[in-house]
Structure 1
Amino acid sequence: MQYQIIGDDIQYVKVFLNPGEKIYADAGHIMSKSSSVTIQAKMRGGILSAIKRELTGATFFVTELMGPGEVDIAGVFPGKIVPIQLNGKGILAESHSFLFAEDSINYDARLAPLAPAILGGEGLFLATFSGVGQVFLHAYGGLYEINLMPGQSIDIEASHLLALEEGMQFTVTRVGGFKTMLFGGEGLYFVRVVGPGKVWIHSITAQQMASALMPFLPGGQKGGLPF
């Protein structure tokens, strides 16, 4: 599949599809397409996978696009588009980060560990991608990639974790005591990931973006209009 990522801090990706070549995208991210590209909604993976995706904060239906032609796809926040090549080893990703993937990629969802994932940040770890081909994610803000050696570990504030390779050990733990949770200025949960494997981290979160913009919105606490 041929593609071009355009832009720096606010990016979109232009995909060039050959006749009969197919991709599928998360609903709401398609900017434009050639008139020759056909489009339809599909459950992808059957009704069970679709239901699991819906429960974990992703979309029940995906949008399938088939060439020939061009398709422009973008994220909903400033950030980096992350192409990840899969060669049989899958990844687990934050459910809202998915943009699109090649037709050869399987898209499913993992319900466990559901409770700590929801508390840690809106369905973390629950989208799963496997197969051979490319999957494209969207990182909020900047992107940090780290390769962990066997036994090496890292603690990541839960809502900053974009994705990790399948098979890596990880645990979700609550931060400190009551004082830390109340006054620490961080999220309530951290994820400890143990190598070997690769981890993708985004520098800001959707919640941080929303908090930064709040004072400038109508009704905001600082300077917003009172309506």
Structure 2
Amino acid sequence: MRTKTIGTTLPVLELTLDPGERIIAEPDRLSWMAGDISLNTTTATGGASGLFGALGRALGGGGLFMTEFSAGRSPAMVAFAAKIPGEIRQVPVESGQPLYVHRSGFLCGTDGLGVGIGFQQSLGAGLFGGNGFVLQKIEGQGTAWIELGGEVAVYDLEPGQSMLVHPGHVGLFADGVGFEIEMMRGIRNIMFGGDGLFLARLTGPGTVWLQSMTLPNLAHALTPYLPVNSR
């Protein structure tokens, strides 16, 4: 398999598959393809062996279905474009060492990866955190390509080292990184700060990838320029 990233601000991931090679992706991510390639859209891939597995993947931000792209007797090319300005990161996935990705961050991956919902270590994450705390869990053995918004900052946290992050900026983190919810300190900060009620505390050891752009912030910035329906 040969990979190439085209562009910078709105990148495109181009994969050239050798005969017999296969990758998996969400069914709405295909941009273009060429050569002897076949598609198979099914619930029984991406680590889902049944309906409940597919439902778990959907709750994590994916879909009930995923598409398998397989090269036939000759090499074939398939390309996936980013949905928002940002980066496409290639990350290895090791057996027994899952990765946790922001909602809908999984772009595509090699055959053998499983995509599901990442249940958090704190009950408060599910109850109060909002969409920023609903994460995808990528596990298995292979390579994953992750879409991250805006610029990406990477931190290697030492054991016990922690940082507080607005939930929407948590892009990706490795297994072993602690994830907890903390309420914003100070009544005035909560009422007038505009930063929400909760922050995520990420604690090492492990690597975290933080994204500078979030979809809610992008939508908020564009709202004043959108036409208003007067009807």
Alignment TM-score > 0.5, same fold: yes
CA–CA distance in structure 1, aligned partners of residues 211 and 137 of structure 2: 18
Report Cα offsets for 1:18-63 as digits up to 9, x if no partner. 1111001122111011152111212121222211122233211111
Number of matched pairs: 222
**Corresponding residue for residue 5 of structure 1:** 5
The answer as to 2:56 corresponding to 1:52 is yes
- Larger mean Cα displacement after TM superposition, 184-193 or 155-164: 184-193
**Corresponding residue for residue 189 of structure 1:** 198
**Corresponding residue for residue 219 of structure 2:** 210
**Corresponding residue for residue 120 of structure 1:** 129
**Corresponding residue for residue 98 of structure 2:** 90
**Corresponding residue for residue 209 of structure 2:** 200
Where structure 1 has 5 or more consecutive residues not aligned to the other structure, the ranges are 220-224
CA–CA distance in structure 2, aligned partners of residues 53 and 172 of structure 1: 23
CA–CA distance in structure 2, aligned partners of residues 115 and 56 of structure 1: 17
CA–CA distance in structure 2, aligned partners of residues 171 and 124 of structure 1: 10
State TM-score, norm by structure 2: 0.88
CA–CA distance in structure 2, aligned partners of residues 155 and 206 of structure 1: 20
Q: What SS is found at the alignment partner of 2:159?
A: coil
Give the letter for the 2:154 counterpart.
E
Q: What SS is found at the alignment partner of 1:37?
A: strand
CA–CA distance in structure 1, aligned partners of residues 148 and 118 of structure 2: 20
Contact persistence 1:120–1:159 (CA under 8 A): no
Where structure 2 has 5 or more consecutive residues not aligned to the other structure, the ranges are none
Report Cα offsets for 1:135-185 as digits up to 9, x if no partner. 111111111111001111111111100111112211012212443223112
The answer as to 2:42 corresponding to 1:42 is yes
State TM-score, norm by structure 1: 0.90
Runs of 4+ with deviation above 3 angstroms: 111-115
**Corresponding residue for residue 33 of structure 1:** 33
**Corresponding residue for residue 115 of structure 2:** 107
**Corresponding residue for residue 169 of structure 2:** 160
**Corresponding residue for residue 132 of structure 1:** 141
Q: What SS is found at the alignment partner of 1:213?
A: helix
